[in-house]
Amino acid sequence: MHARFAAVHVARRRLAIRRNIVLSLALLAAGACADTEPSAPSGPLGFVATAPIVAFIGVTVVPMDSERVLPDQIVVIDNGRITTIGSSGQVDVPAGATRIDGRGRFLTPGLADMHVHLGDADIEAYVSAGITTVRNMWGVPGMLEFAAQSRGPLSTADDGTRASPAVYSASPGIDGSPPTWAYTREISNPADAEALVAEMASEGWSFLKLYNRLSPEVYDALADAAALHGIRFLGHVPWAVTLEHALDRGHASIEHLTGYDRALGSPVLPPLSWTLADAGGAAALAERTALAGTWNCPTLVVTNAIGRRVLTPAEFEQSLATRRAMVRALRDAGAPLLVGTDGGIDIVRAGHAIHDELAEFVAAGLTPFEALRAATSDAARFLDQEGEFGMIVTGSRADLLLLDANPLADIGNARRIAGVMIRGRWHARP
């Protein structure tokens, strides 16, 4: 199914993985290929053939439209869409429907990992972790076609082998010279920005991915061209661009909190930068972020993985506390957040790292509901897909997660996965 990405994935992983949060290639050579193993759900998921109509019986629904649960519900799915939600005593299960026992269990929307580098080898891991939507953050050949397929309807004859999260993809990265990733589109002359953005928009990418080495003049030219062609730009705040300027120019989502460390007074790059940043300025920056309407995808888990290997224990604890304070300030100011892991670059384990990121959000001061919202309904809101996924409402895509315990009581319960539904196709643990 995913063979078209295999060669791309292998080639990409053989390249030097250098990001603004990685201090040197020696870090990877020393073995920074995975963080400490997360507590993954036990046992593999297996596809379970069902009738075209499926009904969850007696389940407690966590709709994610507000902080509430709906006990003893029947949820009916017909050909990949939710058609009925109601109390067990008030809903008739259609004849011939496959019944899934939901008693004592909790039905939530599937999770969205909003920062991944999607590769063939990782797709099964995303599904197994309950991730039904991903935002791919670096366009590669074949990705647009696969993304369209991943969001399309499945036939009733499908045998489960097409299970994949729905993919929304940013463009190939746009950067100055020298590039640090394959398929980078280099630009150094502001006069070239309009043609480059026009090309990206016509190809059909959902967003423009900006990277570290862009000059301020090129950044502004790209922002102007993006507005002209009606496409949002996101990614890193380039090293030569201030956070405040990026907020003023309409940077749609900032990845890894890039720029906030500099705005908080740090003179060096991450991860050491967060040990020197002054968290006392976090509230003012968060207020400005909220006013600008800019989203943040902090990817705390990947910065943790790197920091543990290059910082002293005291430095790591200071870095972690400052980054958590920044996330908490963003929440307090009402600046929207997204859950992402940077899975796919061999630093954290693709898929299950999302549960560590959710735990980080809670450790930063968010409630379990707020953390889960950032990985469900707010992800849909950012992608302009409200009603398509992210909430359990009639008409939405049947991307669902069946849990053995309530995630609103303890975010760790989001790991306790009994089954995952992808576009109406059921995958369950034995």
Q: Please check whether residue 126 lies inside any domain of the structure.
A: yes
What is the residue-averaged pLDDT of the chain?
Answer: 90
Q: Does 206 fall in a domain?
A: yes
Q: Is the pLDDT of residue 194 over 60?
A: yes
Phi, psi of 25 (to 5 degrees): -65, -20
Exposed / middle / buried, residue 159 (Cβ in 10 Å: 0-12, 13-18, 19+): exposed
- The model's confidence at residue 42, banded by pLDDT at 50, 70 and 90, is low
Structure tokens at 243: 């956070």
Q: In sequence order, which residues have a C-beta less than 8 Å from that of residue 95 and are 6 or more positions away?
A: none
Structure-block tokens of residue 155: 């036939």
Bridge pairing between strands 232-235 and 295-297: unpaired
Average pLDDT (201-216) is: 97
Residue of 37, 5, 260 whose CA lies nearest to 117: 5
pLDDT band at 37 (very low <50, low <70, confident <90, very high): very low
Q: Are strands 425-428 and 417-422 parallel, antiparallel or unpaired?
A: antiparallel
Facing residues of 76 across strands? Answer: 55, 84
In the predicted model, is pLDDT for residue 111 greater than 60? yes
**Which element (helix H / strand E) includes 283?**
helix 282-292
Residue 80 lies in a domain: no
* Residue type, position 240, single letter: A
Residue 153 pLDDT? 79
Using the predicted structure, report yes or no on whether residue 7 has a pLDDT greater than 50: no
Per-residue pLDDT averaged across 399-407, rounded? 98
Residue 179 reports pLDDT greater than 90: no
**Pair of tokens at residue 106:** 């909790």
Band of pLDDT at residue 24, cut at 50, 70 and 90:
very low
Measured CA to CA, the distance from residue 115 to residue 133 in angstroms comes to 10
Per-residue pLDDT for 252 more than 90?
A: yes
Q: What is the spatial distance between Cα 320 and Cα 274, in angstroms, rounded to a whole number?
A: 8
Which pLDDT score is estimated for 11?
40
The one-letter code for the residue type at 429 is R
Q: What pLDDT is stored for residue 9 in this prediction?
A: 43
- 63 assigned to some structural domain: no
> Does the pLDDT at position 289 exceed 90?
yes
Residue 98 lies in a domain: no
> Are the beta carbons of 218 and 190 closer than 8 angstroms?
yes
Looking at the structure of the chain, the number of domains it has is 1
Among 162-166, 351-355, 374-378, 403-407, the range scoring the smallest mean pLDDT is 162-166
Over residues 202-207, mean pLDDT = 96
Residue 427 covered by a domain? no
In DSSP terms, 87 is beta-bridged to 73
Q: Across residues 172-190, what is the average pLDDT?
A: 94
CATH number of the domain where residue 25 is located: 3.20.20.140
Assess if residue 261 is contained within a domain.
yes
pLDDT band (50, 70, 90) for residue 113? very high
pLDDT digits (tens, 9 = 90+) for 146-163: 999 999 877 666 677 778
Instruction: Write out pLDDT tens, residues 260-269.
Output: 999 999 999 8
- Domain extent, residue 372, equals 3-39+114-146+167-384
pTM for the model stands at 0.92
Averaged over 218-223, what is the pLDDT? 98
Q: What is the mean pLDDT of residues 257-262?
A: 98
Q: Is residue 152 part of a domain?
A: no
